[in-house]
Amino acid sequence: MLVALIFADSQSQPLTVALRSEMRQFGNSIAVLAPGAFLSLTLPVAIFFAFQRHFVPGVMAGR
């Protein structure tokens, strides 16, 4: 995912950085920040579930 930032223009930023900058404007409004946080969480969770078969034994093996 970080590779995409190398090829992106200078105006691009990860969703988590955008959420952090929006906290200044919408800090008290959880209804605005919660959907963005949920969207930023979906890709890592999807990747985990897709590769869970390989991830869990690797963690348990201690490698």
3-state secondary structure of 39: helix
**pLDDT tens, N- to C-terminus, the chain (63 residues):** 566 666 666 677 777 777 777 777 777 778 878 888 888 889 889 988 998 888 888 888 875
Alpha-carbon gap, residue 43 to 49, rounded angstroms:
10
Alpha-carbon gap, residue 42 to 22, rounded angstroms:
19
pLDDT at 10: 66
Angle between helices 30-50 and 52-61 (to 10 degrees): 80
